[in-house]
Amino acid sequence: MEMKEFAPDKNLLQMSQPAFQNATAEVVPRMASRATVPLLLLLGLLLIFLKLSQKKATLPGPSFCLGIGPLISYGRFLWMGIGSASNYYNEKYGGIVRVWIHGEETLIISRSSAVNHVMKKGHYISRFGSKHALQCIGMNENGIIFNNNPSIWKQTRSYFAKALTGPILQRTLAMTVESTRDHLEKLLGGNNNTTKVDVLLFLRAITLDIANRLFLRVPLHEGEIVAKVQKYFDTWQSLLLKPDIFFKFKCMYKKYEKAAQDLQDAVEELLLKKQQELRDTEKLHDITDFATDLIFAQTHGELTPDNVRQSLLEILIAGPDTMSVSIYFMLLLIAQHPEVEKKILEEIQTVTGKREVQNNDLQQLKILENFINESMRYQPVVDITMRKALKDDMIDGFLVKKGTNIILNLGRMHKDDFFLKPYEFSLENFTQSVPHCYFRPFGFGPRSCVGKYVAMVMMKGILVTMLKQFTVHSDNGNNLQNIKYIHHLSFHPNESQTLQMTFIPRNQAED
């Protein structure tokens, strides 16, 4: 049954035929004798062949090969995952590769000059992915992350940008410290004993709580929402590149539809609570928040109810999907590198002493920032980002047609282009300043990560607060090298395995 999905679609056939069509349309009427027709056919085939082999000479990548190339490359993305397949192709063909997804030309780019070109220009501000999938998870022309309608995206992005800079950014560190302390206390039940922790779950609860304190501010059941966020992410990742035919069989994607609906319903409920609260308090709060801004925008007819719900959903999932895994990797690295832990801790102690970390400490925590950057470089979580060309363009000397899909392979760029020993984890890599064009963990330009400043502050706040109190050990001999991963929409551990860590209170560890 799956084979049917691989039948070359109309795009592909059209793509391979223009030379043939031109030849027959212009020449046949003038010299149509029976004998010349086969000759012309032969000529046509020759032209197609020449055209295809020319293409091969310009953009590196697997050959079209009568449509088999596109089937194989699409299959590779479906079976290996987007991240793994991207690395496979960049490794095999270099920093710019042409493949096909859904029969559509797709470039995988890891060369920094080309990555920066795409990020900088205004006509790559769209993404790609199955429209059915995006509809199923509510992202089609709603929210921000995979909103492919440029004008709605732009309007929605302004609400995110406002919520993630300025006064909120100033409050982020204090909220992060408060939330991390609360969660540590809850976990330990008032004692400070050595404790086994399901770290990923724990970090998701913290990152969700921080987002709630900053952007929404209504009571919520963390465990319940965290579980729904995880299923929503799995659904997003599983559906994003599925062939259209998959969505014709409701029985096949019913469970995905339910997972998406469950989180949407939960967010709707939170939104209703917030609206009720706004009505009850009458007077405006001294400080506004993201959810309040969205609700007012809806009242004024600027945003649709669907867009408001989806935008709130997306700002709530952004942290739990990215930061929790990133910090987990950082804790594993700290557990594996005691000398690095020692340096970070000395700096924390020098800068903050016995008090909690504050905003004006952040610029002095150089080693910590260096460590965070090196962790994101060495073991990234968000290592690819998907874009679409909205105009014809030249990228590093290659012609790129309007409509071409683009995968920016940032993880690969951070290994291939600048660092001398890319597969070694070393703080030395960031002791001298790295030119920005070689290190883009949050992307760059108009469609970059809108949460990048908040994300850096949150990571620092969580790490400092945890490390001041605890030293961490990984259980079951788990380390970055031996755990099992899923490398698809992001790079994250397969959570079928147990991923516990042990938190040992500092004052006990030192005895």
Residue with tokens 């760059």, as numbered in its chain? 444
**Residue 449 marked ligand-binding:** yes
DSSP string, 246-267: GGG-HHHHHHHHHHHHHHHHHH
Question: Which of the residues 474 through 503 are near ligand NAG (CB under 6 A)?
Answer: 484, 486, 494, 496
Tokens representing 505? Answer: 């209170």
Contact 122, 424 (CB under 8 A): no
Residue with tokens 């995880």, as numbered in its chain? 230
Contact 74, 85 (CB under 8 A): no
Stretch that binds ligand NAG, among 126-134, 311-319, 418-426, 459-467 (CB under 6 A): 418-426
Among 449, 466, 472, 501, binds ligand HEM (CB under 6 A): 449
The type of residue at 26 is: E
With binding defined as CB under 6 A, does residue 213 bind ligand HEM? Answer: no
Residue 15 or residue 381: which is nearer to ligand HEM going by CB?
Answer: 381
d(CA 460, CA 201): 19
With binding defined as CB under 6 A, does residue 82 bind ligand HEM? Answer: no
Among 44, 62, 451, 461, binds ligand HEM (CB under 6 A): 451
Among 292, 322, 370, 478, binds ligand HEM (CB under 6 A): 322
**Binding-site partner at residue 326 among ligand HEM, ligand NAG, none, CB < 5 to 8 Å by type:** ligand HEM
Residue 70 or residue 320: which is nearer to ligand HEM going by CB?
Answer: 320
Q: Between the CA of residue 111 and those of 333, 388, 412, what are the distances in Å?
A: 27, 17, 8
* Class of residue 272 by CB neighbours under 10 A (exposed 0-12, middle 13-18, buried 19+): exposed
Contact 118, 384 (CB under 8 A): no
SS3 511: coil
With binding defined as CB under 6 A, does residue 445 bind ligand NAG? Answer: no
Residue 217 gets the label, from left (phi > 0), alpha (psi -120 to 50) or beta, of left
With binding defined as CB under 6 A, does residue 454 bind ligand HEM? Answer: yes
Residue 198 or residue 369: which is nearer to ligand NAG going by CB?
Answer: 369
Tokens representing 251? Answer: 């029985």
d(CA 186, CA 191): 10
Contact letters for ligand NAG, residues 177-206 (x by CB under 6 A): --------------xxx-------------
With binding defined as CB under 6 A, does residue 434 bind ligand NAG? Answer: yes
Residues that bind ligand NAG (CB under 6 A): 191-193, 369-370, 373, 419-421, 424, 426, 428-430, 433-434, 439, 441, 484, 486, 494, 496, 505, 507-508
Binding-site residues for heme sit at: 449
Residues that bind ligand HEM (CB under 6 A): 119, 144-145, 157, 160, 314-315, 318-319, 322-323, 326, 381-382, 385, 441-443, 447-451, 454-455
